Structure 1
Amino acid sequence: MAGRVIFHVDMNSFYASVEAADDPILKGKPLAIAGNAKKRKGIVVTASYEARAKGIKPPLPLWEAKNLCRDLIVREPRFERYREKSRQIFELLFEYTDLVQPVSIDEGYMDVTDHINGSAVAMAEEIQQRLLDELGLPSSIGIAPNKFLAKTASDMKKPLGITVMRKREIRKNLWPLPAEEMHGIGKKTAERLALHHIHTIGDIAEQEPDRLISLFGVHGGRMYERAFGRDDRPVDPEKAKQFKSIGHSRTLPEDAGSLEEVKPVLKYMADSVSARLKRKYVYASGIQLTIRYSRWETVQRSSRLKAPLDDAEAILRQAMLLWEESWDGEPVRLVGITGIDLIPKGSAQKQLDLFSYENEQSEWEKEEMLRTLNKKYGKEIIRKGAVRPPDSS
């Protein structure tokens, strides 16, 4: 391949693989990671490939997973252990090049253009084998001239796959794929594309760029470029370290002297931040609360989340905890909520934890009920309510 040589290293069924590496009895068995395993509650976070073969995939409720596979082994998540294993993975990758960009706990890009002695495939095979031998963790690696094609390639063969994607092979290997297989296109966007008779990546390539832009904005132009395998983003080790945020603040109509007074405004801002996170296709790894007192002193407090999220209720909950820890009892004139340390949704699977699985299950059940009712009685017969901003007049 001429030009750059980019690897996308993606660990296979990471949480389940870590558990199997620590307990060899689990190897080759149908295994699910889920909260509150003893009570059959919660949602499957991830599953081994043996469990996936039985139809068990996130975010399946645990009781349903048990019905699909009677001999399913269930383990509760150990997030500190997963973070430690992630650190070891990236330490190994950095041995090959300084240009490593982590994009989530279990995947990252490598620019190995100037570090290949022999063939790119041989280097990928060595990395894959070392991850397996030294850490006990299987991976898939995509090799391509840019990040988009490398990510696409790594998804093509799992587990333990190594796939090369060359630009000259795009028409043959990329265009027949469903549009939803394009990195950055989710289920809802794929449904919107289908309404315009655009079903495959090849269909995207056949559109006029202006039409896609008129339908999907900047994202439409990006789809068109990706359909031809164009992506000039560099592998940037500093990108994962950059402070990235989405926030919203509001000056109160009157100074507030209690949580009860400020809570409606916090709720409105949590909804706003959540909506913007979803529009940008990112999760927040932390929440920051801003309080400006009537005396014009401003304080900011932040906390990391146990799992990246974009959920308004969880954002509000965290902001209220920060308020209780930070507010000194004096009148407040402005409050703000900011989602920090953002993670692209297309590059990072949402990580659930023991403290969120019940809420996740509740949300899943609500969404399923809405889908069922709308299907039975007509589209959009029932919708989630929107929060109206507090009157500031």
Structure 2
Amino acid sequence: MGKARILFHVDMNSFYASVEAAYEPELQGKPLAIAGNAKERRGIVVTASYEARARGVKPPMPLWEAMKACPELVVRQPNFDRYRLASTQMFQLLYEYTPLVEPVSIDEGYMDVTDATSQMSPIEMAREIQKRIKRELNLPSSIGIAPNKFLAKMASDMKKPMGITVLRKREIADKLWPMNSIEMHGIGGKTADKLEKMGIKTIGDVANASKDLLHRKLGVGGLKIHERANGIDLRMVDPDAVNEFKSIGNSTTLPEDTTDAVKVRKIITNLSDSVGRRLRRKDVYAGNIQLTIRYHDRKTVTRSSKLSHPVFTHEDILAAAWRLWEKYWNGDPVRLLGVTGMDLVEKGTAYKQLDLFAYEKDDKEHRLSGVVDDLRNKYGENALLKGTQAGNSDRSDELRDKQRRGTSLEKDFLRDELFRKK
């Protein structure tokens, strides 16, 4: 039998707010929120300090609501340069202990310390790492220690801030199973609702449910959460995962070269719709939209637009892609078109500068998009197509239905030199 694995999940506590407090010591101990358009008291809360959370401030809530819950709330706008720098310093510190470090976001990562704990115990190493991060970067963190990724992630969430938690497989029934299913890493709100309707309320219920039932109701994801709930997770800590790309895009080769703007807009509309659905399916937003144009002579150009706020709706993606088309198309016949969402951020960390009315509008759009997505996933691409999307049912439309599509799922900025071991 091989040596038992020892994995850490290092999770920075209230990262953005903690970084701001590190730069401004007078913010220490105060209720602090990071939100867009803070000067005008608009936007939504990206993250909040634990002092703010104790007063009812929980992201992602509208800033007006946060101020109502906590009138003394201190608000700062996001400073991503600061956060990237702090993240780089944190990961460089982790690399001093083992080369087996896998960053999974700007403020968390896994470490495989199986062969790095000969001089000190895992708990001693975790304490040293935590103390160094606090002393050298003035940032709080929590560390989960377990034999696999899932359990390490669950362990790091159990004690915040500044917690160190060991979670062994033999402790799962006592420590994990009584928890509500929504508290399980990998189960979101929609899945939790589906489980609830199946009479599955706790992680223990998931663990003891029929695998066939979960597979039938939830697909492959059902089998995965069943394994996780039983403490099974064979994923290795992969330092090279950081080098994978992270973007979501679709491209299509046209049945015939064209300069017809109406046809082009219809294609870009459909590509934008597909990208939007895939973004929503993965609960991510795109901060950058890229348009690919391949001309009749196979010359290919790609142009991108950095957005003022992360987007997820078909309309926002189409608007950005169409602006790129109008600006960069040279007038020649087009052979291929592609739309890609880049600079992806998770739903919980995306922020947008908006007032109450825009917030309500986005919320409605998100819920409406979810309904449309379900219908299209069930009945196909043509379900609920609008005006110029639907067009006429002629020979060219039949050909378009058979267009070859290309997709890509790529990693975020973690692939940059920012997180490479030096």
Aligned positions of 1:217-366 closer than 5 A: 217-252=219-254, 255-257=257-259, 262-281=264-283, 284=286, 286-302=288-304, 310-324=312-326, 326-340=328-342, 345=346, 349-352=348-351, 356-358=352-354, 362-366=358-362
Q: Is the 8 A contact 2:17 2:33 kept in 1?
A: yes
Specify the alignment match of 1:376 in structure 2. Answer: none
Q: Is the 8 A contact 2:8 2:110 kept in 1?
A: yes
Q: Is the 8 A contact 2:59 2:348 kept in 1?
A: no
1:74 aligns with 2:58: no
Q: Which amino acid aligns with 1:276?
A: R
| Cα distance, 1:311 vs structure 2 | 3.9
Counterparts in 2 of 1:45 and 1:217: CA distance versus 1, 3 Å? same
Aligned positions of 1:1-393 closer than 5 A: 3-116=4-117, 117-252=119-254, 255-257=257-259, 262-281=264-283, 284=286, 286-302=288-304, 310-324=312-326, 326-340=328-342, 345=346, 349-352=348-351, 356-358=352-354, 362-367=358-363, 386-388=384-386, 389-391=389-391, 392-393=397-398
Q: Is the 8 A contact 2:313 2:365 kept in 1?
A: no
Q: Is the 8 A contact 1:288 1:300 kept in 2?
A: yes
Q: Which amino acid aligns with 1:28?
A: G
SS of match in other structure, 1:17: helix
- Distance, in Å, in 1 between the alignment partners of 2:176 and 2:364 is 32
- More deviation, 285-294/99-108: 285-294
SS of match in other structure, 2:204: helix
C-alpha offsets along residues 362-389 of structure 1, whole Å, 9 cap, x if unaligned?
2544536998xxxxxxx99xx9995454
C-alpha offsets along residues 86-144 of structure 1, whole Å, 9 cap, x if unaligned?
11111111111101111111111111111012211111111111111110110111110
Q: Which amino acid aligns with 1:25?
A: E
Counterparts in 2 of 1:282 and 1:74: CA distance versus 1, 3 Å? closer
SS of match in other structure, 1:70: coil
Q: Which amino acid aligns with 2:147?
A: P
C-alpha offsets along residues 241-279 of structure 1, whole Å, 9 cap, x if unaligned?
112443222344665537665333222211211212333
Counterparts in 2 of 1:165 and 1:364: CA distance versus 1, 3 Å? farther
SS of match in other structure, 1:357: coil
Cα RMSD over matched residues?
A: 3.0
- More deviation, 216-225/59-68: 59-68
Counterparts in 2 of 1:387 and 1:161: CA distance versus 1, 3 Å? farther
| Cα distance, 1:206 vs structure 2 | 1.2
Counterparts in 2 of 1:126 and 1:359: CA distance versus 1, 3 Å? same
SS of match in other structure, 1:358: coil
- More deviation, 160-169/324-333: 324-333
SS of match in other structure, 1:238: helix
Q: Percent identity?
A: 56
- More deviation, 7-16/248-257: 248-257
| Cα distance, 1:286 vs structure 2 | 4.9
- Distance, in Å, in 2 between the alignment partners of 1:45 and 1:148 is 25
Counterparts in 2 of 1:169 and 1:50: CA distance versus 1, 3 Å? same
SS of match in other structure, 2:349: coil
Segments of structure 2 that go 5 or more residues without pairing to the other structure are 377-382, 392-396, 399-422
| Cα distance, 1:205 vs structure 2 | 1.0
- More deviation, 305-314/130-139: 305-314
| Cα distance, 1:50 vs structure 2 | 0.6
- More deviation, 31-40/238-247: 238-247
| Cα distance, 1:339 vs structure 2 | 3.4
Counterparts in 2 of 1:137 and 1:221: CA distance versus 1, 3 Å? same
| Cα distance, 1:211 vs structure 2 | 1.1
| Cα distance, 1:351 vs structure 2 | 3.3
Q: Is the 8 A contact 1:61 1:361 kept in 2?
A: no
- More deviation, 282-291/237-246: 282-291
Counterparts in 2 of 1:307 and 1:39: CA distance versus 1, 3 Å? closer
- Distance, in Å, in 1 between the alignment partners of 2:325 and 2:236 is 39
Q: Which amino acid aligns with 2:71?
A: R
| Cα distance, 1:305 vs structure 2 | 6.3
C-alpha offsets along residues 270-304 of structure 1, whole Å, 9 cap, x if unaligned?
12112123334555565432212233333334566
TM-score between the two structures when normalised by the length of structure 1: 0.87
- Distance, in Å, in 2 between the alignment partners of 1:361 and 1:149 is 41
